[in-house]
Amino acid sequence: MNIRKTIICGTISLGILIGSSVPSFAQNATYTVQSGDTFWKIASKYGVSTLSVMNANNANENTILYPGQKITIPLNSQKIHTVVSGDTYWTISQQYGVSFSKLLAANNATVDSWLKIGDKVVIPSEEETGSYLTHIVQAGDTFYLISKKYNVNMNSLMSLNGANENTILYVGQKIKIPKTSTPPAASGPYVTYDNYTVQKGDTPWSISMKFGIPFEELLKANNLNSSSYLNIGDVIKIPVHHVPVKSTPGPQYGELLDWWTEARYVIPLNATFEVVDFYTGRSFKAKRTTGALHADCETLSWADTEAMKSIWGGNFSWLRRPVIIKINGRQIAASATAMPHAGNDAVATDAWADWRSGDYGAGPNYDYIKNNGMDGHFDIHFLNSTRHSDGKVDVEHQKQINIAAGK
- What are the residues whose beta carbons fall under 8 Å from the beta carbon of 398, sequence distance 6 or more? 335, 381, 383, 384
Q: Both 265 and 393 in a single domain?
A: yes
Q: Both 385 and 287 in a single domain?
A: yes
Q: Both 394 and 264 in a single domain?
A: yes
Q: Both 267 and 375 in a single domain?
A: yes
CA 137 to each of CA 174, 176, 305, 319: distance values in angstroms, whole numbers, following the listed order: 6, 11, 41, 45
Q: Both 99 and 228 in a single domain?
A: no
The residue-averaged pLDDT of 330-343 equals: 90
Q: Both 20 and 110 in a single domain?
A: yes
H or E element in which residue 325 lies? strand 317-327
Q: Both 399 and 327 in a single domain?
A: yes
Q: Both 348 and 283 in a single domain?
A: yes
Q: Both 315 and 229 in a single domain?
A: no
Query: Does the residue 335 lie in any domain?
Result: yes
Sign of CA dihedral 309, 311, 312, 313: positive
| Whole-angstrom distance, CA of residue 339 vs CA of residue 208 | 28
298 C-beta neighbours (distance < 10 Å), count: 24
* Model confidence, pTM: 0.53
Q: Can you give the pLDDT at residue 362? A: 39
Of 18-22, 218-222, 224-228, 347-351, which one has max mean pLDDT? 218-222
Query: Does the residue 197 lie in any domain?
Result: yes
Query: Does the residue 164 lie in any domain?
Result: no
| Whole-angstrom distance, CA of residue 373 vs CA of residue 378 | 13
Q: Both 289 and 237 in a single domain?
A: no
Structural domain harbouring 8: 3-130
| Whole-angstrom distance, CA of residue 365 vs CA of residue 80 | 51
| Whole-angstrom distance, CA of residue 258 vs CA of residue 324 | 15
Q: Can you give the pLDDT at residue 187? A: 55
Number of structural domains the chain divides into = 3
Between vectors from CA 334 to CA 329 and to CA 336, what angle results, nearest 5°? 120
Query: Does the residue 206 lie in any domain?
Result: yes
Query: Does the residue 254 lie in any domain?
Result: no
The residue-averaged pLDDT of 271-288 equals: 94
pLDDT for residue 46 is more than 80:
no
Output the domain CATH number for residue 217.
Answer: 3.10.350.10
Query: Does the residue 141 lie in any domain?
Result: no
| Whole-angstrom distance, CA of residue 146 vs CA of residue 154 | 8
Q: Both 363 and 395 in a single domain?
A: yes
pLDDT for residue 79 is more than 80:
no
Report pLDDT digits (tens) over 208-243: 888 888 888 889 889 888 788 899 888 888 888 888
- Distance from chain centroid for Cα 250: 21
Mean model confidence pLDDT for the chain: 77
Instruction: Say which residue, 24 or 248, is predicted with more confidence.
Output: 248
Query: Does the residue 152 lie in any domain?
Result: no
CA nearest 333: which of 395, 390, 249, 271? 249
Query: Does the residue 93 lie in any domain?
Result: yes
| Pick from 234-243, 271-280, 306-315: least confident | 234-243
Q: Both 67 and 100 in a single domain?
A: yes
| Pick from 12-16, 34-38, 306-310: least confident | 12-16
